[in-house]
């Protein structure tokens, strides 16, 4: 967010449609109409969000979009079909009707399941052609750090700030992140080369316009779980937020995607300059050391504006002014399971500790799978 002359940051835009709009996939606010209306995003659809990217890309800056992969997926591994506003509604055998902003003939489109077709093998609600406009990178953190921190945001007293009044294990997001990662690799949009393995052969975006008016140099960072105030972030950085570049290119008729770029948040906190520089090389951004500082009034104002719609989740980042390596004694050293369970029981009771442990255990395999691709500098 410090490179405002060349980059435009967009912070978690797809959550507007996922939680609040007429195409909402989450059940979190399903029985809370007032909560949806208070958000100000009841008119948001996946199309309005994509249209926003078009408008902001027209300013000539590269977009850096940080978002949650699970905002593009039906929860609980339900089968996906394309969101109505970016797809076509089924109208009987052999006929379809385009949908604008989640409505058909002026009638609000009901939430998922949509009355739309699925794309073969596409696990998301966004068409493959649209996904192809973006260069995806991936940010991960160990569930033993992220899950208890997120749980904290969904129980008293912090829930009164966040507005998330119950913990939903489906929002952990590791499963969706892994499935998005594997899908993009399977269609050649990402890989086969990796930033981890080919540090001297990283390619930059060529700035060519792609379809839907979205500029090819836009970067999107995807991750699994919300960042939060407390253990989930330190030194002002959240564990869930970088974006990726877009598009695929071909050479001699063989289509190759952008290289795989996965960042582990603990590596970022231990070596911020090295990891950020490696990320920049992978995505074609010029690295400068001042990227790690945001101490000016303009920096602070932009951070406040970006994070304001998710109160309570980014307080540590908002109260910081730079990113420095963690001190040696603060570097992550996992406690024993017994020690963790005791600590969680003290904070959240036996019931809360049990839910946290079950959610952590359910997501470790996906984290470890993605971890094998992480940049190592």
Paired strand residues for 7: 62
Tens digit of pLDDT for each residue in 188-235?
999 999 987 544 444 333 332 223 333 334 566 676 655 444 333 333
CA–CA separation, 325 and 215 (whole Å): 34
**How many Å apart are CA 244 and CA 336, to the nearest integer?**
35
Which residues are CB-contacts of 319 (< 8 A; sequence separation ≥ 6)?
A: 236
Digit-by-digit pLDDT tens for the chain (377 residues) are 567 888 888 999 999 999 999 999 999 999 999 999 999 999 999 999 999 999 988 888 899 999 999 999 999 999 999 999 998 666 554 444 544 444 444 444 447 899 999 999 999 999 999 999 999 999 999 999 999 999 999 999 999 999 999 999 999 999 999 999 999 999 999 999 998 754 444 433 333 222 333 333 456 667 665 544 433 333 333 333 334 333 333 333 334 689 999 999 999 999 999 999 999 999 999 999 998 988 888 877 877 777 777 888 877 777 778 888 988 655 667 789 999 999 999 999 999 999 999 999 999 999 999 999 999 98
Q: Tell how strand 135-140 and strand 262-264 pair up.
A: parallel
User: Residues 106-129: pLDDT tens digits?
Assistant: 444 447 899 999 999 999 999 999
The token pair that represents 38 in the structure block: 């208070």
- Angle subtended at Cα 191 by Cα 188 and Cα 192, rounded to the nearest 5 degrees: 100
Number of Cβ within 10 Å of residue 271's Cβ equals 17
Q: pLDDT value at position 2?
A: 65
- pTM for the full predicted model: 0.83
Longest dimension (CA), the chain: 65
Q: Kindly report each contact of residues 155-158 with a partner whose C-beta sits within 8 Å and lies 24 or more positions away, as own/partner.
A: 155/348, 155/352, 158/229, 158/312
Question: Cβ(355)–Cβ(150) under 8 Å?
Answer: no
In this structure, are strands 219-223 and 254-260 parallel, antiparallel, or unpaired? unpaired
């Amino acid at each position: 967010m410090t490179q405002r002359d060349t980059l435009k940051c967009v912070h978690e835009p797809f959550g507007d449609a996922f939680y609040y709009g007429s195409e909402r996939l989450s059940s979190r606010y399903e029985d809370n109409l007032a909560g949806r209306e208070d958000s100000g995003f009841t008119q948001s659809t996946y199309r309005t969000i994509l249209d926003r990217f078009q408008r902001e890309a027209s300013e000539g800056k590269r977009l850096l979009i940080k978002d949650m992969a699970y905002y593009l997926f039906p929860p609980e591994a339900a089968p996906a079909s394309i969101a109505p506003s970016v797809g076509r509604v089924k109208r009987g055998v052999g006929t379809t009707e385009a949908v604008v902003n989640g409505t058909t003939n002026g009638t609000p489109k009901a939430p998922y399941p949509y009355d739309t077709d699925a794309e073969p093998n596409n696990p998301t609600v966004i068409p493959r052609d649209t996904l192809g406009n973006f260069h995806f990178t991936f940010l991960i953190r160990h569930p033993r750090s992220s899950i208890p921190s997120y749980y904290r945001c969904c129980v008293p007293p912090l829930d009164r700030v966040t507005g998330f009044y119950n913990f939903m294990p489906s929002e952990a997001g590791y499963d969706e992140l892994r499935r998005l990662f594997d899908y993009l690799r399977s269609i050649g949009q990402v890989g086969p080369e990796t930033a981890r393995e080919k540090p001297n052969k990283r390619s930059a975006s060529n700035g060519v316009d792609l379809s839907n008016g979205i500029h090819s140099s836009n970067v999107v960072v995807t991750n699994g779980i919300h960042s939060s105030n407390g253990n989930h972030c330190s030194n002002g950085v959240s564990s869930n937020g970088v974006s990726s570049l877009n598009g695929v290119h071909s050479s001699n008729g063989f289509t190759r995607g952008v290289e795989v770029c996965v960042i582990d948040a603990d590596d970022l906190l231990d070596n911020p300059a090295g990891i950020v520089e490696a990320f920049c090389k992978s995505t074609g951004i010029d690295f400068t050391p001042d990227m790690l500082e945001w101490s000016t009034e303009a920096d602070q104002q932009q951070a406040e504006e970006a994070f304001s719609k998710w109160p309570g989740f980014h307080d540590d980042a908002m109260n910081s002014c730079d990113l420095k390596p963690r001190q040696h004694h603060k570097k992550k050293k996992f406690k024993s399971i017994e020690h963790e369970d005791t600590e969680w029981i003290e904070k959240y009771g036996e019931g809360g500790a049990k839910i946290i442990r079950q959610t952590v255990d359910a997501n470790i395999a996906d984290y470890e799978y993605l971890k094998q691709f992480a940049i190592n500098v």
